[in-house]
A = this chain, B = another copy of it.
Amino acid sequence: METVIGASAAILSTVCWLPQTIRTWRTRHTKDLSLMANLLILASMSLWLTYGIMLHSWPMIVANTVAVVLVGSIIIAKLKFG
A residues near B (Cβ < 8 Å) are: 1-2, 5-6, 8-9, 12-13, 15-16, 19, 37, 40-41, 43-44, 47-48, 50-51, 54-55, 57, 59
A61 to chain B, nearest CB (A): 13
Name, among A1, A6, A12, A48, the residue most crowded by chain B CB atoms within 10 Å (CB to CB): A48
Distance between Cα atoms of A19 and B51 in the complex (Å) = 25
Is A13 a contact of B44 with CB atoms below 8 Å? yes
On chain B, the residues within 8 Å of A16 by CB distance are: 37, 40-41, 44
Name, among A5, A6, A54, the residue most crowded by chain B CB atoms within 10 Å (CB to CB): A5
A10 to chain B, nearest CB (A): 9
